[in-house]
Structure 1
Amino acid sequence: MLAIILALYTKNIMLSLFGGIFLGLYFLNDYSIVSTLSATVDLFFSLVSQAWILKTLAFAILVGSVMELMQKSGGINGFVSFMTHKTKLVNSPRSALLVSYCIGVLIFIESSITSLIAGAVGKPLCDKEKVPHAKLAFVCDSTSAPISSLIVLNGWGALLLGLIATQIQTGIIEGDNVSLLLHSVMYNFYAISALIVTFLAVWFNINIGPMKHAKASLAKTAYHVNSQVSMNYMLIPIFLMIAFVFVFLYITGEGNMLKGSGSTSIYYTMLATLSVMFIYYVGTKNMSVNTYAKSAYIGAKKLFPIALILLFAFAIGEVTVDLKTGQYLASLANNNLSVVFLSAVIFLLSSVISFSTGTSWGTFSIMIPVAVPMAVGMDADVTLAIAAVISGGVFGDHCSPISDTTIISSLASDCEVIEHVKTQLPYALISGLIALAMFILFGFMTLNNS
């Protein structure tokens, strides 16, 4: 609560996250300032000693290098020229945003990479058409996570399959985890409604709430290179980022992509992409070795603060786990609740937990072991309960200013985190209300069917 209030009041996300971390550790250390200071140091040392966190932070920094190199090469400018002059596909604010929307829907392999690519491609197009960066951030955020939770051939699917498999192994439910997950995806009402609401907002230029006051960037587009440069200097790195994620998921999963390591895969994806870019850019004399190295360094330096924000986001996630925030909120659910409203309550609980902790994946890990036994005990539809957890996790994550996906979408679109949260919130709430109504409706339908 403190982190969220500070974020909205001070607009300083790092100060806000640190405030929440420190207060949580103060509670955990019996209200001792000395112990809290020591625990704060220990927490950050513990985080940076974990390989997956270091790889995720390195990924955020290396993305900066890739984006800067694509810009310096002239590939982005070539793409903008192709889309606006040669094909005239992008000739309005709507078409500029639709490019990012389509990227967000088509690239479902990893939500962070989806947001970053959609933002990198969409930003120059939106600048040309005078579209506010806040609206681009909304499109990036409202397509990446929802599509990743619907088409589960990615890390999201791997996590959910593992959580459902645990429920099967403990004898709580019977069946096959793959079929249970696929059935649950059909009821993922928040993801479905978010994609529809986002498309309608883009197509009909619907601006509600703070989005009405969002301003287009006044900064002049910094692409001074020759527009005749081939757009392949942008398209090939993007293709490599997508392809390499599949390759490394396959390698780390020892032949099974669903068992691959997401953090390891995206880290090695960026290293491999930068290596090929070096050979391609220098080999075709697009830039010298010195220019390549300088651009890569400048890009990494730009995104170093984002890596620090992600580290703080991971830290507050650890603190909320230690405080058992999720379990406490889940315990507030009434066991005597009507089966009609079970999935709706699970959706709301998951939303609150995800909003409070800033993590959809952490919410899945907390709530699926709670939701599945509740559904079984009340003879309710288990797949609907699992879907409610997934929908609530994504919804709360979308609304939270301390979420890593919120931060990454803001970064990709060059938009302030708090501005992105405020402008996206009304659209997320509309999608959330639609999802809530659908869970209540299907609760009635399953009751009547039984």
Structure 2
Amino acid sequence: MSTPWILKTLGFVILIGSIMALIEKSGGVGGFVHFVLHQKAFVSSKRSALLLSYFLGVFIFIETSITALISGAVGKPLCDKYKIPHAKLAYICDSTSAPIGSLVIFNGYGALLLGLITTQISQGSLEGTAFELLLDSVLYNFYAMSALLVAFLFIWFGIDIGPMKRLEYKKSEIYVEEKVNSMYLMLLPIFLMLVLIFVFLYITGNGEILKGSGSSSIFYTMLSVLGFIFIYYVGTKNMSILEYSKISFKGAKKLFAVSMILIFAFSIGEVTSQLKTGLYLASFASENLNVVFLAGAIFLLSSLISFSTGTSWGTFSIMIPIAVPMAVAMDGDSALVIGAVISGGIFGDHCSPISDTTIISSMAAECEVIEHVRTQLPYALISGCIALSLFVVLSFINS
């Protein structure tokens, strides 16, 4: 708790909870939904109906739950209009939320991964800057990339396989009235986040973005956006100072559990480092496992842990302190191995019926959780096989 970057990372998590709660309550989300449905004719077919939800999931990457909820909110009325089974919408929500969140790292995923990699650098397991290593690792996040590609092909070509073939359309029975205000109440804060993160990376890196402090940049960005929202929302009389304060507190409280996960994650990382768990596994694996299969094995193990626990965050916290020393001891590619951990965590989380993103995607699309899991599993397995093959091929090339 006395380490500055840890405190800034925890602060970021709390602040993003406040920001998301404020945007939701402002009516900006409802305004955006109204705009794309009624003011602009973006949708004219089943394909374009699902594509709209897909691209929303890709472009709104700040937080996975918000991504899924916005995609679902926009997609449900379109599914009813074109008689599209809601399990298809749930698959799109799920296949864009966590995968895109793990690729575009200016969010909670980035904060956690940055913290875990920084821990490994401070303990001497890795060399270089945490932000550069994180960017390198994200380039090897093959499952997220393949999941997004498979989902797009599913929409574009209408590829129904497995249980998805037998789906029948069921009309929505639940209707929740959405507060509708100007969509700029949502768009301007999100745009400001994207701009300021690079501004603060430039400032903290003394003119070099790649050398900037990720934890500081993310923290200062969220603090600035929260201040902007106060001026914008209160100034336009969208909400009073009291409402702003109450909503901010509720949003922060909602993500308090995530900040506790981070604290425990950093603690686990320190413990496994002190116990030399990674070095032990490396010495054990070096006798039984060729370095060519290291990234593939890490991917499968991370997938199993994530599927069993339903959390990619916990998987990252457990596996990165183990996988990095293994890669270093076996003279493997550390960035590739970290990419394998990220991919495996997202893959297992995507398939797991107890994952929060699986449940939220089902809820957002008004689809039964088990139906969603059954129908999306064949597509997730295809993406997983593609990712596994790429890890083995790249390990062979690097070796």
Same fold (TM over 0.5): yes
Structure-2 residue corresponding to 1:94: 47
Structure-1 residue corresponding to 2:184: 236
Structure-1 residue corresponding to 2:57: 104
1:439 to 382, 391, 395: 391
* 1:80 maps to amino acid: L
Structure-1 residue corresponding to 2:368: 416
- Taking a change above 3 Å as real, the CA distance of residues 250 and 402 of structure 1, as seen in their structure-2 partners, is farther
Q: Tell me if structure 1 keeps the 8 A contact 2:298–2:323.
A: yes
- Number of aligned positions between the proteins: 365
- Structure 1 distance, partners of 2:343, 2:149, is 15
* 1:190 maps to amino acid: Y
Larger radius of gyration: 1
In the alignment, is residue 397 of structure 1 matched against residue 345 of structure 2?
no
Structure-1 residue corresponding to 2:40: 83
Select between 387-396 and 266-275 the one with higher mean Cα deviation.
266-275
* 1:123 maps to amino acid: K
In the alignment, is residue 114 of structure 1 matched against residue 67 of structure 2?
yes
Secondary structure at the counterpart of residue 40 of structure 2: helix
Give the C-alpha shift of residue 220 in structure 1: 8.6
Instruction: Deviation per CA, 1:8-27: give whole Å up to 9, x if none.
Output: xxxxxxxxxxxxxxxxxxxx
Secondary structure at the counterpart of residue 365 of structure 1: helix
* 1:215 maps to amino acid: Y
Work out the percentage of aligned pairs sharing the same amino acid: 50
* 1:239 maps to amino acid: L
- Structure 2 distance, partners of 1:175, 1:96, is 45
TM-score, normalisation: structure 2? 0.73
Q: Summarize the alignment of residues 47-446 of structure 1 with structure 2, pairs less than 5 Å apart.
A: 65=25, 71=30, 76-84=33-41, 89-212=42-165, 213-219=167-173, 233=181, 235-240=183-188, 242-243=190-191, 258-259=214-215, 335=285, 336-446=288-398
Structure-1 residue corresponding to 2:5: none
- Taking a change above 3 Å as real, the CA distance of residues 259 and 202 of structure 1, as seen in their structure-2 partners, is same
Q: Tell me if structure 2 keeps the 8 A contact 1:150–1:191.
A: yes
- Structure 1 distance, partners of 2:162, 2:219, is 36
- Structure 2 distance, partners of 1:418, 1:270, is 38
Give the C-alpha shift of residue 267 in structure 1: 11
Unaligned regions of 5+ residues in structure 1, if any? 1-49, 226-230, 284-288, 294-303
Instruction: Deviation per CA, 1:378-407: give whole Å up to 9, x if none.
Output: 111111111101100111111112222223
- Structure 1 distance, partners of 2:223, 2:95, is 24
Q: Tell me if structure 2 keeps the 8 A contact 1:58–1:267.
A: no
Instruction: Deviation per CA, 1:97-144: give whole Å up to 9, x if none.
Output: 111111222223332322222222222223222222221221122112
Give the C-alpha shift of residue 156 in structure 1: 2.0
* 1:192 maps to amino acid: M
- Taking a change above 3 Å as real, the CA distance of residues 313 and 260 of structure 1, as seen in their structure-2 partners, is closer
RMSD between superposed Cα atoms in Å: 4.5
Instruction: Deviation per CA, 1:350-385: give whole Å up to 9, x if none.
Output: 111111222212211111111111111111111111
* 1:378 maps to amino acid: M
- Taking a change above 3 Å as real, the CA distance of residues 423 and 312 of structure 1, as seen in their structure-2 partners, is farther
Select between 387-396 and 350-359 the one with higher mean Cα deviation.
350-359
- Structure 1 distance, partners of 2:139, 2:350, is 20
Give the C-alpha shift of residue 319 in structure 1: 11
Q: Tell me if structure 1 keeps the 8 A contact 2:131–2:213.
A: no
Structure-2 residue corresponding to 1:27: none
* 2:186 maps to amino acid: I
- Structure 1 distance, partners of 2:103, 2:187, is 22
- Structure 2 distance, partners of 1:157, 1:140, is 20
- Taking a change above 3 Å as real, the CA distance of residues 92 and 264 of structure 1, as seen in their structure-2 partners, is farther
- Structure 2 distance, partners of 1:158, 1:53, is 8
- Taking a change above 3 Å as real, the CA distance of residues 317 and 429 of structure 1, as seen in their structure-2 partners, is farther
Unaligned regions of 5+ residues in structure 2, if any? 1-9, 205-211, 244-250
- Taking a change above 3 Å as real, the CA distance of residues 354 and 78 of structure 1, as seen in their structure-2 partners, is same
- Structure 1 distance, partners of 2:120, 2:14, is 31
- Structure 2 distance, partners of 1:314, 1:211, is 37
Q: Tell me if structure 1 keeps the 8 A contact 2:116–2:266.
A: no
Q: Tell me if structure 1 keeps the 8 A contact 2:85–2:168.
A: yes
* 2:350 maps to amino acid: H
Q: Tell me if structure 1 keeps the 8 A contact 2:61–2:101.
A: yes
Give the C-alpha shift of residue 179 in structure 1: 2.5
Secondary structure at the counterpart of residue 62 of structure 2: coil
* 1:130 maps to amino acid: K
Structure-1 residue corresponding to 2:6: none
